[in-house]
Structures are given as C-alpha cells and as structure tokens.
Structure 1
Amino acid sequence: MASGTLIFLVIGAAGVAVLALALLGGELLHALLPDVDGPVSVEVIAGFAGAFGFGGAIANELLGARTPALVAGAVAAGVVAAVPTAWFAGRLSRAARDMPTDATPTRHHLVGALGLVVTPIPTSGYGEVRVRLAGQPVKLNARADRPLPVGAQIFVVEALSETSVHVETY
C-alpha cells in the first residue's frame, strides 16, 4: 500500500470518527465548544472528510499514484466523491434536526381520557388505572368518590398530579 493511500485512509477514518461523534454525541461537542457548528455543520465537515479520504484512497490505488500529477488526480477524485456526500450529510442532518413532532403530553391532556381500573380503587385511597395518552398506554394512581373494582371502565375528570388522577365510571 502506498503512503499516499495510507494518508487518505487516515483522513477518511478521522472523518467517520467525527461523523459518529456528531451523530451519536453531538451535544458533547456543544458542551465543550458552544459555537462548534459555525456556518457549516459538523456532519457536513465529517461527511466531506470521510468521503474525501476514502475516495482519494480508492483513486490513489487505482491510479498507482507515484507522481505528483497522479496524486493530484487522486485528490480531485476525493473531492468529486466528497462534495455530494457533504451535501447529502447536510440535508440529512437538517431534516432530522428540523423534523416536526407532536407536542409533549402534559397532565392537562389526561382530563377526559378513557381507561380501565387495574388495581381496585378504595373509598379513601388510591388504586391504579390504565388510560391511553397520545396513543400510548399509561398506568396512573387513581382515586374515586366511591370504590371501583378491577375492570371498571373509567374516564378522568381531574389530573391531580403528573401521575395521579380523579376518575369516575361511565
């Protein structure tokens, strides 16, 4: 393996390592350097470096680059591979970052929810109910004005806290 190929492979490996860090632990970069992104995101730079290194290594081996002109050709091939990869990495990271999501459910969304009693509710105490919140089953502590047996169908009339509700049968 030529030394030029090894240099390209090291550049590519460094790009992949930075890309993995940016995708898996990007908040670490912002903790150490708050202004790390600047005008170009870390993902774009990492994608460019990775594609440049690996594309240049492939071209260097295929060309058998032993002269400066052939090494320059390998560099050009690396740039040809790197530019679309960097653009694609930027588009993907922007799409993931700007993806619209639903609002996070709060205790106020519990009022009116329908469910079932899963642990009997005594007159003066708490039992447990299972309701659906944002399509997900949620188990909550529940109290009622009268005792309710397991399996009773209920609806939430008041959210007492984030994890407890006041219910009635329907």
Structure 2
Amino acid sequence: MARADGEPARRIACYGGAFDPPHLAHVFALTWLLTRDDVESVWLVPTADHVFGKRMAPFAERVAMLEAIVGRLGSDRVRVCEIEAGREGPSRTYDTLEALEAAHPGHAFCWVIGADNLTESHRWHRFDDLVARWPLIVLGRPGHEAALAAAASAPWCLPGPT
C-alpha cells in the first residue's frame, strides 16, 4: 500500500496480547517498533477474554499496567487500545482488526505477534483471511527461529527483527 505521494504507507501497528503482566520483552519490542519507518504509531491491544482459555488478571489491571508503561515511554506514538473491553465472547484477532478498521476508517493497520504465536496459526480464527487483509510483523522468539524464517518469506509479513 502506498500513499498518494508514492511513499510507502505508514501503519498503525497493533501489538496484541494478554500482557499478563507486561514485561521488559514487551517494552523492547515496543521500542523497536517505534524505530520502523513504516510504523506511524503502536496501539497496545490487551486481550479481554483469551480464546484459548488462558486465565488472566482482570482487564482493568492489565490496562493500568500498560498505561504505566506508556507513561514512562513518553511517546505520543503509543497508546493503549481498549477495543476488546466489554466484547462478548473470546477475543479473536480477525474480529479485533475488523472492529478497529470500522472504528478508524482511513487508517492502515498491521498486527504484531511473536514467532511463537505464529506456530499456532492453524488454531487462529480465519488466519488466512486475516493475513490477506492485514500484514503481520513477526517478532523473533528464542526457540522459534524456523517460524520466523518461514514468515520472513511470506507475502503477508512485513520485515521484522531476527
């Protein structure tokens, strides 16, 4: 996707996860995302109801922890997005991105995941449809080098760290 002036589109990188709790690796990934020329801003999207039944701290507590991190970063390019708050049923990435696109027309979105989550893509709701509509930024994770290497050559993958 390119802008009218021919420059590559800058996207909102939606970094989703349980964030239970958010930790230093999340901060490192967030900081790296802010260095990318193709990322306009990063929206942290905490999962409200984990699709695979993971028990989590209350949503409001995880949001508060993320807000504290955002405050310490001091960047107006990072925000916590509570789009999943109050949704019925488990969180599904495809549905979340569809809701974000509907709520923010004219914005270009991408989804940020760790390579460990990519190995579970066969369990994701509408994964093929998801990557047909929105590119992914796949972050390297120890022990998941093969998944990262495979993603790097996929047409739906934006370049990421190794």
TM-score in same-fold range (> 0.5): no
**TM-score, normalising length: structure 2:** 0.24
Structure 1-normalised TM-score?
0.23
Q: Which one has the largest radius of gyration?
A: 1
